[in-house]
């Protein structure tokens, strides 16, 4: 009944792992430690250091640990980098997934949970993005996630696997400083960085067609993301027949950049007014999830609000 967690030493993977262990799900982690850290692993969890591109290693892990399911989180996730290095992103994200699926099928593992992203939607023309909203990624990162979903679904159908592709919206916050995001490539850490350096946080454009002119997103606490994975693992473990799920993980509530920066100013106690710069290319005005399907399918609902995301991330930031 062991689940293999790829990318379990990363920011999201570490949170998923913590909650799976708390739920008594037996786990083994595969991580190449390119951005992950062994410090994120709970005591006693076996860590195999290696690549998802290493088929022989995956075969060994699946066999030795009697892996029956895989939560595949390991991936590259920087949009700008994916535009500059599409070959690397397709290899790491898509060939990596393919190799994991090959090993899973060959070793008799019957369940797969795949980390997808709201990036599959591109610039959606919908107030609330449902899983039926057309997918039209606008960068190689999003393309690898959409193609990954197709591969997962097709392999599931052909080989009788139960699968769940989980489309994360904008992940933020942390359950503990040890598990925190150490990257500075999203709004919350980027604002922290600027404030720490004595600079004004930046607003990438305030002339969007939104209530306050700044972009609107659906921010979701990483602990809620992790809880959705535990629910998906339980659902797939319990499925009598092969199952194929594709689900948004969001709160269903839009928050603008200006609103987010106001919370950040309050939580950090730093009132430096933000500075508006021109739009960042490729940013959609609004991306907010409809979160009804995951509630119905997994009985999951987000528990954490924006305040909790910013407060936990700031506490971790100060301990860096």
What span, in angstroms and rounded, lies between the C-alpha atoms of 97 and 75?
Answer: 9
Distance CA 299, CA 228 (A): 9
For binding to ligand WQD (CB under 6 A), which residues are involved?
Answer: 77, 79, 117, 119, 170, 186-187, 190-191, 202-204, 215, 217, 257, 280, 283
**Do the bridges between strand 162-168 and strand 244-249 make them parallel or antiparallel, or are there none, so unpaired?**
parallel
Cβ at position 266, least distance to ligand WQD in Å: 17
Q: Which is nearer to ligand WQD, 79 or 262 (CB)?
A: 79
| Residue placing its CB nearer to ligand WQD in the complex, 7 or 69 | 7
Tell me the residue nearest to ligand WQD as measured from the CB. Answer: 215
Please identify, using beta-carbon distances, which residue of 62 and 215 lies nearer to ligand WQD.
215
Active-site residue, 141 included: yes
Q: How far is the CB of 254 from ligand WQD (least distance, A)?
A: 11
Single out the catalytic residue among 141, 168, 208, 219: 141
**Token duo for residue 160:** 């009788």
Minimum CB distance to ligand WQD, residue 117 (Å)? 5
Least separation in angstroms between residue 99's CB and ligand WQD is: 21
Q: Cβ closer to ligand WQD: 2 or 117?
A: 117
The least CB distance from residue 5 to ligand WQD, in Å, is 17
Which two tokens mark 247? 């689900």
Asked whether 112 and 156 are in contact (CB, 8 A), the reply is yes
Query: What are the catalytic residues?
Result: 141
């Amino acid at each position: 009944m062991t689940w293999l967690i790829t990318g379990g030493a990363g920011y999201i993977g570490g949170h998923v792992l913590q909650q799976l262990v708390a739920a008594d799900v037996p786990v083994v982690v595969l991580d190449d430690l390119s951005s992950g850290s062994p410090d994120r692993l709970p005591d006693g969890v076996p860590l195999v250091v290696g690549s998802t591109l290493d088929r022989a290693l995956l075969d060994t892990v699946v066999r030795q640990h009697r892996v029956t399911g895989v939560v595949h989180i390991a991936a590259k996730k920087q949009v700008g980098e994916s535009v500059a290095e599409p070959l690397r992103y397709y290899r790491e994200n898509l060939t990596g997934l393919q190799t994991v699926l090959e090993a899973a099928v060959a070793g008799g593992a019957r369940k797969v949970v795949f980390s997808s992203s709201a990036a599959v939607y591109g610039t959606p023309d919908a107030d609330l993005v449902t899983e039926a909203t057309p997918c039209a990624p606008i960068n190689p990162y999003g393309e690898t996630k959409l193609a990954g979903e197709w591969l997962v679904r097709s392999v599931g159908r052909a080989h009788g696997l139960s699968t769940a592709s989980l489309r994360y919206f904008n992940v933020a916050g942390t359950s503990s400083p040890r598990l925190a995001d150490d990257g500075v490539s999203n709004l919350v850490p980027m604002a922290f960085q600027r404030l720490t350096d004595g600079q004004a946080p930046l607003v990438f454009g305030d002339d969007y067609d939104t209530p306050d002119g700044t972009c609107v997103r659906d921010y979701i606490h990483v602990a809620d993301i992790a809880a959705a994975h535990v629910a998906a693992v339980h659902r797939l473990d319990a499925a009598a027949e092969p199952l194929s799920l594709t689900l948004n993980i969001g709160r269903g509530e839009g928050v603008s950049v200006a609103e987010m920066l106001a919370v950040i100013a309050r939580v950090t106690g730093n009132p430096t007014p933000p500075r508006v710069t021109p739009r960042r290319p490729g940013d959609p005005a609004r991306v907010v999830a409809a979160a009804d399907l995951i509630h119905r399918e997994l009985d999951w609902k987000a528990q954490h609000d924006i305040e909790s995301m910013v407060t936990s991330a700031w506490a971790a930031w100060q301990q860096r």
